[in-house]
Amino acid sequence: MNRSVIKQLIVPVLIVIFIAVVFHVQQNGISSMKQLFQGKVSEKPGREINVTYDIWIPYWDQEKVLDSLEYSKNKLSTVLPVWYKIDPEGSLLKIEPVEDRNIRNLLLGTGVKLIPTIQNDFDPVRVSEFLKNEEKMDTFTNELVSLAREEAYDGWDVNFEQVYEEDRELFVQFINKTSGRFKEEGLILSVTVHAQTGTVADWSGAKGHDWEGIGNTVDVVRIMVYDFHNKGSVAGPITPVDNLRDVLSYANKVLPREKVVVGLPLYGYDWVGDRGVPIDFEKTGEIVKEYKVQPIRDRKSGELNFNYTQNDQKHTVWYQDAVSVAEKMKVAKEYGYNRFTFWRLGGEDKDIWKKL
């Protein structure tokens, strides 16, 4: 075959290859050619090879926490102990007592990242005042950097909940500035946000989190896709699948997929009327045994539920087990998400860890 014939064949072959690549990108939801060749997304959303699991650790129920951590530590990528908070004066405060030494000992040699969470006691007022004080913000960030060095933290998770909508831009400015400083220091900045769908139906307490603005600079955005039925609502699934889909669909529009960690529940609620109290899997097992009730699995959410009567009051319980958690992760993977974080460690269904 002479050179002229070869040249005539090469061009059509290259065109066919190019068309095939473009078709692959369009069919599999890959947002850019760069992303395709970096291997950040698998052939189809939901078929990622490197699935990771993180967990928030409460500062209470420490006996249950340590028991669960011993069981789950080899399945975890990051632990996020809620060890700190911003106080009403805008200062960083360690929450006492916490089993930080015991938790650290359990994590030795596992390669699990340690990223403490900073919460705000669900108080938007202290956050609003803090965001309007440049000196306090600088002091706060400097302390985070210093503490991370002293305590060998891999970074910080900022979980300021119910931020006022009018403080939306100020919060983004604080996060962006902190992110810049953390990058200089080699620290991970994670920000936990409320679930949103980008519609008028979004909860007012979620609107202070500008997902797109936050996602531009941070390393991780953790979305709390739970509490759609909560302690102040009527009984129902903690994470209905329709709500999960709406939130993830919105996330795909405004956040870099590689930064998103989907937050899912491991807990439940025990309601009397429209007042609920949090309940874990272990406690539900005790109630089921004591009152001889048969839990029913909700076909849409995958969550378990049952009723019982105590002191002439009807209780309704909805909660998670390994099956319901797996169902939610399956849905998330359909949208291309392969990183998960769970609230919370301690008292959860141990079969969850066996099946991961």
How far, CA to CA in Å, does 289 sit from each of 100, 204, 266, 270, 286?
34, 40, 20, 15, 5
pLDDT of residue 40: 37
DSSP state of 37: H
CA separation for the pair 271, 297 (Å, rounded): 17
- Which contacts qualify for 26-30: CB closer than 8 Å, 24 or more apart? 29/252, 29/336
**Among all chains, which residue has been given the structure tokens 């979620």?**
206
pLDDT of residue 258: 97
pLDDT of residue 37: 33
User: For each successive 10 residues of the chain (356 residues), what is the average pLDDT?
Assistant: 54 56 46 37 50 97 97 98 98 91 95 98 98 98 98 98 98 98 98 97 97 98 98 98 98 98 98 98 98 97 98 98 98 98 98 96
pLDDT of residue 18: 58
Is 294:244 a contact under the CB 8 Å cutoff?
no
Give the start-end residues of each E strand in 173-267.
188-194, 220-224, 260-265
Cβ within 8 Å of residue 271, ≥6 positions away: 234, 235, 315, 316, 317, 318
Enter the tokens of residue 266. Answer: 């491991």
**Phi, psi for 337 (deg, rounded to 5):** -100, 130
Is 171:132 a contact under the CB 8 Å cutoff?
no
The edge-to-edge listing of strands for the beta sheet with 84-86 is 92-94, 84-86, 117-119, 155-159, 188-194, 220-224, 260-265, 339-343, 52-57, 78-81, 113-114
CA separation for the pair 170, 343 (Å, rounded): 27
pLDDT of residue 32: 40
Going by C-alpha positions, the residue among 180, 133, 159 that lies closest to residue 59 is: 159
Task: Give the three-class secondary structure for 134.
Answer: helix
CA R_g for the chain: 23
Q: Over the range 169-186, which residues count as b (16 or more CB within 10 Å of their CB) and which as e? A: ebbbebbeebbeebeeee
CA separation for the pair 38, 12 (Å, rounded): 27
Is 247:208 a contact under the CB 8 Å cutoff?
no
* All domains in the chain, ordered by first residue: 1-40 (no CATH), 48-267+322-355 (3.20.20.80)
